[in-house]
A and B are shown apart, each in its own frame.
Chain A
Amino acid sequence: MKIIRKIVSAFAALLTATTLMSSAATAASENYENYSYDRWGDAVPSQAGYIADRAITGEMMGTKNLSEPADMFISDDGLMYIADKLNNRIVVTDLNFDAVIRVYETFDNGGETLTLKNPQGVFVDDYTGFMYVCDTENNRVIKCDKDGKVDRLFTKPDNSLYGTEITYEPFKVCVDEMGNVYVVARSVNRGAIMFDKNGEFLGFFGANTVMQTAEVIANAFWNLISTEEQMLRTTRSVPVGFSNFDIDGQFIYTVTETTGEQTADQLKKLNPRGDNVLDAIDMAGENFGDIMPAKYNEFAQESKMRDVDIGDNGEMNILDYEHGRIHQFDKDGYRLFIMGGKGNRMGTFTNAVAIESHGDRIYVLDSSKNTITEFVRTVFGGIVTEAMGYYNRAEYSESKELWETVLKYDGNYVRAYVGIGLAYLFEQDYETALGYFEIAISRYYYNEAFEGYRNAFLKQHFTVIIIVLAVLAVGIYILRRRLNKYKMYERGI
């Protein structure tokens, strides 16, 4: 009897141990693949930088459920503003999501009461505290204070530059430090509509370009010889208007749902002049989405970018609604993490529309599940972020040790090789730096390290090089003289 009890208890212990282990394993794994791209652009398994923690519904916040929410914004004081599209309201909650702080349904415009109709964008100016709401179907942007008192309305510009035949359906809004208001409107492809703080129309900002693909050139040729009726039927070669943007300091980041071969403007980082600064570091035209798109029914599904958000360290989170994925890049456009996927489980999305980040958390809004999914940074993600912090302050040597830890977690992590390489470059150990940049395939930095390496080499071996050159010159001279004498001798001179 005792033996049997012993066996049973041992068996039970074993069983608990295995279940514990397997539950630990499931806790660590997500409902999607964690991957990254290696230096050749092939997908490789990777460590998770963020994991989905919970999904929040409207009821959990203590209000009625969201209905096709379209946008959200987190202000510096840690409040989240949600544009609840079909409920025609703006919901404000703190980041614990246990109680709604305020719901804006009406706005007071000097006595007149304004209601919203399908609002699709919300923004809060952290400098002045004013809230901007894209009242899309009412064709206006409302600027109001915290009490819902309207300060100004941004309606369709009455300006020949804007054009009378173009509609004005604003769906995203941003405000820079100067108080200039940037509005993205549906079917406006000349860039963001720019107002000054008094509501004066200034012009357009940061228009996309049309890439000269074979189709575009062919269309231009056919348009020369075809009738007007035929021209209506050909595809038009016009730039795509961008789908969303975010502002961080002086830079405006835009994302565009690129289609087919028009991939140039997927992600842009624009300075106040409207130039894409990602150009300067060899990153323009880079594929910021999935390099090898998933193929279903033989049609490749290209990444389509819906939203962009800039984190505390300047990292760019961009949201690809086609695959339901979040791609995170550092401020120079190097890949950090990929997370999310398509589906109905935790951490996957059916129609992801907006992304925001705050501290070590990333929030994604799904407009058909009507939830906000909260991603939390993992230990691995924390190390990368800490290293990025040093990197951004140009303390490369301090970040070296952290990057080496990152490589212990994930030897495929390309960004770590760049980080270590930069540290060696900074310490003027060019030869080691060259090795790291070669692993990372970072031609831009490799070139810099190579220049340093070459200069150091020339400086160090200057005398030797000069002596070798001199000896060679003299040797060749003597040899030629000997040869000439020999030839003359042969010819009998």
Chain B
Amino acid sequence: MLDINNAQFVKHVVFHPIEGFEDLRWKKKGSMLIAVGIVVLFFIQSIAYGRLYGFQYYVDYDKLFNIVPYLVQSVVLFLIWVVANWAMCTLFDGEGSMRRIFIYSAYALLPYIVCSLISTVLSHILVQDEEVFMTTISIVGVVWSIALMLSAMKAVHQFTIGKTLALILLTFVAMIGILFLLVLLLTLFQQVLIFLFSIYTEITYRVTM
């Protein structure tokens, strides 16, 4: 059974939230290429959601476009999730490798991405009174993705449900820690740069005097 290729496995996983990831695990399938593709789609979706929304619902400050927030919201957030999850799973004797966590998490995100893309398209067709359809679709996407993510984490580490929930909670804590350290690092490097630059200015003053 289940002699299907990687692309077909994405469909199988998404529509079988309970045992899909277990099948993926025992068949040792899952393509890094597809996973990266999904993360790129995630990035595109976050831009589309922020920029291409129907005018009757949402107006963005469109005088300037800064790609960094969108990058942080999607790709960076996803990478931090993967790293934090991997770091935490080693403490819990989880089986997942970084590669597998990446692939499984990306697969689990698919319903959310697709649903929010659909609601972005719908926002150009529906008027304000019909907003409830879009909200419904968005909520379905989020709930579906959360269910898939639980199943994915359970399968990739071979955990019980309780342990999975504890892991996800700890992953969030670790993510906050990583983000904090990143910001700290950035500010410190900024300080160092300013320091070096002031030394440079000082020296140039002395030399030219």
Contacts and interface: CB of A to CB of B under 8 A. Distances in A.
Interface string A388-413: 00000000000000000000000000
A49 B56 CA distance: 31
Nearest to B63: A40
Interface string A426-448: 00000000000010010100110
B128 interface: yes
Given A443-B55, A443-B56, A446-B56, A454 B63 contact: no
B56 A447 contact: yes
A104 interface: no
B125 interface: yes
Nearest to A441: B59
Given A40-B61, A40-B63, A451 B55 contact: no
B127 interface: yes
Contact of B127 (A40, A42, A438, A450): A450
Interface in A29-47: 40, 42
B127 A443 contact: no
Interface in A435-483: 438, 441, 443, 446-447, 450-451, 454
A438 B59 CA distance: 9
B132 to A, nearest CB: 15
A438 B63 CA distance: 14
Contacts, number: 21
Contacts of B59: 441, 443
A415 B56 CA distance: 18
A454 B129 CA distance: 14
A241 to B, nearest CB: 34
A446 B55 contact: yes
Contacts of A443: 55-57, 59
Interface residues of A, number: 10
A451 B55 CA distance: 12
Contacts of B128: 447
Contacts of A450: 55-56, 127
Interface residues of B, number: 10
A454 B55 contact: no
Interface in A239-279: none
Contacts of B63: 40, 42
Contacts of A451: 127
Interface string B58-101: 01011100000000000000000000000000000000000000
B61 A447 contact: no
A42 B59 CA distance: 15
Contacts of A446: 55-56
A446 B127 CA distance: 10
B64 to A, nearest CB: 10
Contacts of B61: 40
B6 to A, nearest CB: 19
Nearest to B128: A447
A459 to B, nearest CB: 16
B125 A454 contact: yes
Nearest to B125: A454
Nearest to B60: A40
A242 B57 CA distance: 33
A451 B130 CA distance: 11
A397 B143 CA distance: 49
Contacts of B62: 40
Contacts of A441: 59
B125 A438 contact: no
A443 B131 CA distance: 14
B58 to A, nearest CB: 8
A40 B59 CA distance: 9
Contacts of A438: 55
A454 B56 contact: no
Contacts of A40: 61-63
A427 to B, nearest CB: 20
Interface in A188-209: none
A441 B55 CA distance: 8
A280 B62 CA distance: 27
A281 to B, nearest CB: 13
A42 B61 CA distance: 10
Interface in A43-76: none
B57 to A, nearest CB: 8
B31 to A, nearest CB: 23
A42 B64 CA distance: 13
Nearest to A39: B59
Contacts of B56: 443, 446-447, 450
A445 to B, nearest CB: 10
B98 to A, nearest CB: 37
A465 B61 CA distance: 35
Nearest to A42: B63
B53 to A, nearest CB: 11
A489 B91 CA distance: 51
A443 B59 CA distance: 8
Given A438-B55, A450-B56, A451-B127, 12 more contacts: A40-B63, A441-B59, A443-B56, A443-B57, A443-B59, A446-B55, A446-B56, A447-B56, A447-B127, A450-B55, A450-B127, A454-B127
Interface of A: 40, 42, 438, 441, 443, 446-447, 450-451, 454
10 contacts: A40-B61, A40-B62, A42-B63, A441-B59, A443-B56, A443-B59, A447-B127, A447-B128, A450-B56, A451-B127
Instruction: Please provide the 5 A-B residue pairs with the shortest distance between their CB atoms, ordered closest to farther.
Output: A447-B56, A451-B127, A447-B128, A446-B56, A441-B59
